[in-house]
Structure 1
């Protein structure tokens, strides 16, 4: 495994003496070149676990000495050429599993004398098994044709195989004596067996083929056999209203409702009213295995708090992210809630859900659109060709990300009724597409704002304790003010370039804020330079934007939840950063519109009504805050001045402060108007 990418070089076909070719478990794409058929001495051919597409070239027939053909777990498709396998053949192992092959299997493949393993599972092969006992002496062989579209009766051909897996097809009829007891036969249409497909499923399949189904050997029967499963296309599920009911843009909670399952969709879990038609496509488990290479570790992105995230490719080549949710180790309520949210809210700033697979009892799968630039935690700084250097996002992109995140939260807080609290606002939840546009993810923790009349129903769904959670923000984690506080941490991460602020513990955050907040003042722009990410290259106007974002961040971090600005005001401030710092000092109210006064008051109320805005900078401190902070920062930490500079404390008439003076909380956290005061200014 070398993590090779690109296409297979055509020149390999010129290595006429090559006997062993193993390119497995890489990222090879494009099609299999026909020139490989010129390798007449090749005995072992392994291209498994790549992203190869197209069909198998008929030229591979030239591999007459081939003993092992391993091409499983790719994106290959089409039908197999009739003359693909030479006669006579030395093949002992053929593995074509987990691709997209269709059509019938060449008859010669069933009759190769030396064949010991034939695995064509996880494709779309169809047709009937060949008749006759072919090479019955080859009893040590293994056959796996599971998860295909084979049909008809079981034939003596199976007698030559020691291990047989026929599951997930449409075989019908009785079980012959020559089928071994250890054969896997689930999810077929066979007689006198449990765990078979439903009558409707089997009948529909055979009718589409122009054939008549045998009704499980029970003439005139209208019911499936005992133990038969109910097919997904035959279900009508009564679903109770969910915690969010009819939640949406300016919508209200609904009452108990009955919702039929749309045709072709996976059944939703009981107890939740979910419009599956709004949740994208219903995928099959086979498609997910194909997309992720059997969920192999190389495709694991991370272990998330609500499930494991894998990168994959659909058969069309579209990249996706698949969340695998193990209900034995993750909360069932979390995935139910996420489904419910996606079924009832829609906004361009939320990560797109492409589909789902919900049919496994202990595992559920959600499929999202892949975001090429990952999340903010991994994109703020990226490695360059030089191992020792990092490339950081420029300021314009950072401001764009801040605005996009504020738009998503403003939608949840102000355009959804009742308001929705995200509860997991941090850099790793902020996903970025190819143009660095924000798509907010991590929606498995959302809830309705505490204090809403519907909160008790949400509490039951999320099993929140009676004494609701309270974090470093000082606010309930079920309030919009909690999101605002967490967003303030994200803003500081963008300003300072210190990685990990938004995901920090209470102790780490307290230490960091004590170092940083004294350098954020509406009266002194130059102070922010001392905490600004040194990798940023900015002019005077952009410096004012950095200053404005830092001011907004500080307002968001007020320890009193009721005095934090509303998200819609934060959005306006970030969209108009120069107004934040210039209009505040213009001295003329005529320069401001009514709406501008509203959000400006929300952000700046603290400095108008606080007697001590700027905290003391101790004379012994370096210009850039240092100390035992555990946050990472890119680039060199160059000193940009030092010293016993006191804050502009003119408004309180105190002049200077002693460098040993201990800052009060009011000096670190300004106190804006109460929200009611802000609203009265509209």
Structure 2
């Protein structure tokens, strides 16, 4: 019995509280009630969302009240009647009656037409104005600069034209200004530098021209600066280095020139640096990346940067996206040992002038594009589809640069082109002058794998009779199996009897001896001198050695 009485008391208290709350939020202004009905009619809203017989404060979708007055109107997500959807217009004159309106959000709700000039005179309490993706045309009325309480202004993804009114710099409370994806022209008004409370400035994807105002460096609260995809010119203001709170900087797809200020390395909070597709040039200073330890996303692509890529990049612990493609960057990448998590990293180093050997670290990346450079030597065994290596100087791979292109590149820089040799260049023996008394040990590179004479001995069981296929007048054919399990055919040739004029006939004999399905690829390069295309023979690079053996071992890899 006592439990039942307690439940009854709780129910009565709930009803009393609910009644009080209902009385508090019930619309008390007759003028605002009339204005809401006018707004419903002019916008063609459905009665089910704004029912005439229900109280707007408690039952109308998107209406927010405080002390019986309308303080917020959200049209986003509402649907028009059939007639209203046929003629969606920016007819909101009745908004002028809501003198306490702090928020008007019509994001995604079509309001074809211009922003009324009276907005800046009549909506003095407005703190949020969100007109994103409303198909708005015309210009921004300068009167919006009178909205002294305005905190957030979203006008993105519309068809607004003209210039950005300098009066927007008179909004002392403004924290977010998003004018992206419109048709604005002219320069960025320097008056925006006065918005000291601004945290997010997005002017991207317009037709703005002229320089980036140096005064932006005084926006001490700024966290996001996006000027992407405009026609901005001039240099990157060094004053931007003062934006200590900046998290994202996007200046991509403009016509900015000059060098990147090394002072930007002071941006310790920066996580994204996007300055690709400009006309920036010069070397990338090491100090630019020395202290930006929070960087995760860096795009420097399609500029005119030259010199070496600063090795300090590899020590940024959270870096997971780097795009430096389309520059004139050069040097070797032997120091590509990352302290970040390479398994999730995506790097694009394509279309540059990098050279030298690839290391096994490239295979550890989630994705790395090294195409259109001048890398040489062997391809690490762990390289898979996550590594793009087309148009390099990796002679054992398909779709590479021409031999002449590679030789010219290395010669112009005073470098030695080792043409896919398996040994480290610092360990390769110096070439010896030809002599009948000199013998040669052959090292072979076939389809991305390197082979020493010792490996070939192991594959053929020391050229045992068991592995002998047949005797030839210039050498013997042996079958073998590599450590990886691939079958191969190896011919042992006496160099003293192997002359240039017999080269083609020798290759023809070898081709006829092996079944055509046993052989892949395209060519043989012998003694760094002859490059002969002979149908289906695989690409084999044979290069000089010392006086330990008097044979050339030609290795052709057979399919699985």
Same fold per TM (> 0.5)?
no
Larger Rg: 2
Which of the pair is proportionally richer in strand?
A: 2
**How does the TM-score come out when normalised to structure 1?**
0.32
Which of the pair is proportionally richer in helix?
A: 1
If asked which structure has higher relative contact order (CA below 8 Å, sep 6+), I would say 1
